């Protein structure tokens, strides 16, 4: 059996002003965002809302400690709606504040505390990558356990995913690149996932086409061209989110986690390091099958022969963001074993979505190739 769901309403507006006025954002709302975003887009428009600036609570990827610190500050505040405006870090944490009980957050992730939805949740992405506005997943680093954990329950779905291209206007090129590559990986991994359906595939294919043709335009016209493509990339990222929210991601995400956790490489960049290594291995292991359909699509978009698709893809991506080998992040050769162990032990949820089975030896081999 395969199932496809799309829970949040998707709201498309041009500007933050239109959003604030149409949805009456103000008293009774808890806005979770960055100081930069709030000052640039909302300060002059919003009156009476409670505002949480995420970086007051820590740097880097979202963690249980950051969630607990925010909780201590807001636990006595009354609010009816959570408005999350940001990238993955903000969205992953903000989703939890729409629940009746947030703390101890580790108990929530261990399913000791049930997830009960208590507030309306509005999510406004400011990057074109996570797709988190349409998924029901929150991923936190659990500091004491030195690992990342995911909570995936229907109660974490937003009520509204609000897409405003204006919010991406000052996204630096590097974040544009890493976040959109993350979206491309969501689209490609979910396309090959055994959980993919004919419906989720439509979203994957559309996202792949929009992102790669956008990259081709950026390569031809220069970095500034992305400014005219922000709406396309924002929509493509949401398409990819819908696809992976239903079909799941696989080995690229699984294998990128140790790099993110140990060396704090941002999520999109860590995925990029692993990306083509996994797909080239899939092709070697199981050239006949669904990957043929994916490669046919890539052949058309990249205007190349079937056997060249992953080299051509890498060439295109390298013009958007230069890929680095693992050792340049400080990873030692010896660590590749512990990375492999960690993937095999802790990432079974993702590894179950692989196009073809990747054994421990194969995972180790991919890390070695990317070293």
**Binding pattern for the stretch 140-179 against Fe ion, x by CB under 5 A and - elsewhere:** ----------------------------------------
What is the C-alpha to C-alpha distance for residues 289 and 355, in angstroms, rounded to an integer? 9
Least separation in angstroms between residue 267's CB and Fe ion is 6
64 versus 182: smaller Cβ distance to Fe ion: 182
Least separation in angstroms between residue 190's CB and Fe ion is 10
92 versus 335: smaller Cβ distance to Fe ion: 92
81 versus 148: smaller Cβ distance to Fe ion: 148
β-strands 137-142, 81-86: how paired? Answer: unpaired
Give residues 33-72 in contact with Fe ion (rule: CB under 5 A): none
Least separation in angstroms between residue 143's CB and Fe ion is 21
- Displacement of CA 237 from its chain's centroid (Å): 9
**Binding pattern for the stretch 305-344 against Fe ion, x by CB under 5 A and - elsewhere:** ----------------------------------------
Least separation in angstroms between residue 198's CB and Fe ion is 23
42 versus 204: smaller Cβ distance to Fe ion: 204
Nearest residue to Fe ion, using CB? 182
Residue 269 binding Fe ion, by CB under 5 A = no
Give residues 220-239 in contact with Fe ion (rule: CB under 5 A): none
Least separation in angstroms between residue 295's CB and Fe ion is 22
67 versus 249: smaller Cβ distance to Fe ion: 249
Least separation in angstroms between residue 271's CB and Fe ion is 6
49 versus 125: smaller Cβ distance to Fe ion: 125
Instruction: Please identify which residue in 61, 133, 182, 201 interacts with Fe ion, judged by CB under 5 A.
Output: 182
Least separation in angstroms between residue 240's CB and Fe ion is 9
Least separation in angstroms between residue 4's CB and Fe ion is 20
20 versus 354: smaller Cβ distance to Fe ion: 354
31 versus 196: smaller Cβ distance to Fe ion: 196
Please tell me the count of residues contacting Fe ion according to CB under 5 A. 1
Least separation in angstroms between residue 36's CB and Fe ion is 23
For residues 345, 156, 172, 65, the Cα torsion angle rounded to the nearest 10 degrees is: -60
Stretch that binds Fe ion, among 160-168, 182-190, 200-208, 282-290 (CB under 5 A): 182-190
Tokens of 194: 């055994």
166 versus 182: smaller Cβ distance to Fe ion: 182
Residues contacting residue 16 through CB under 8 Å, at least 6 positions apart:
41, 42, 45, 164, 166, 167
Task: Give me the residues that bind Fe ion (CB under 5 A), please.
Answer: 182
């Amino acid at each position: 059996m395969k199932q496809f769901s799309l829970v949040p309403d998707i709201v498309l507006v041009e500007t933050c002003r239109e959003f604030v006025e149409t949805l009456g954002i103000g008293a009774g709302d808890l806005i979770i965002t960055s100081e930069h975003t709030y000052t640039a887009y909302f300060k002059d428009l919003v009156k009476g809302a409670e505002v949480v600036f995420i970086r007051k609570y820590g740097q880097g990827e979202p963690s249980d400690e950051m969630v607990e610190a925010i909780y201590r500050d807001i636990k006595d505040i009354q609010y009816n709606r959570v408005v999350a405006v940001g990238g993955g870090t903000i969205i992953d944490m903000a989703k939890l504040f729409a629940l009746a009980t947030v703390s101890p957050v580790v108990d929530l992730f261990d399913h000791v505390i049930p997830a009960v939805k208590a507030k309306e949740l509005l999510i406004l992405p400011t990057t074109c990558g996570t797709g988190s506005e349409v998924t029901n997943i929150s991923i936190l680093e659990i500091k004491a356990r030195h690992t990342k954990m995911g909570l995936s329950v229907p109660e974490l779905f937003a009520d509204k995913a609000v897409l405003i291209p204006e919010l991406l206007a000052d996204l630096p090129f590097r974040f544009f690149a890493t976040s959109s590559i993350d979206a491309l990986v969501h689209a490609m991994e979910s396309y090959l996932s055994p959980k993919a359906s004919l419906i989720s595939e439509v979203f994957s294919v559309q996202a792949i086409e929009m992102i790669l043709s956008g990259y081709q335009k950026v390569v031809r016209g220069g970095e500034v061209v992305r400014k005219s493509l922000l709406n396309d990339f924002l929509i493509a990222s949401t398409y990819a989110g819908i696809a992976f929210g239903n079909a799941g991601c696989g080995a690229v995400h699984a294998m990128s986690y140790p790099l993110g956790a140990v060396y704090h490489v941002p999520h999109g960049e860590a995925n990029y390091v692993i990306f083509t290594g996994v797909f080239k291995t899939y092709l070697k292991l199981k050239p006949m099958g669904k990957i043929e359909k994916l490669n046919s699509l890539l052949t058309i978009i990249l205007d190349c022969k079937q056997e060249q698709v992953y080299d051509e893809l890498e060439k295109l991506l390298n013009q958007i963001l230069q890929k680095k080998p693992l050792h340049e992040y400080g990873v030692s050769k010896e660590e590749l074993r512990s990375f492999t162990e960690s993937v095999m032990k802790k990432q079974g949820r993702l590894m179950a979505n692989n196009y073809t089975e990747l054994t421990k030896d194969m995972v180790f081999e991919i890390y070695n190739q990317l070293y």
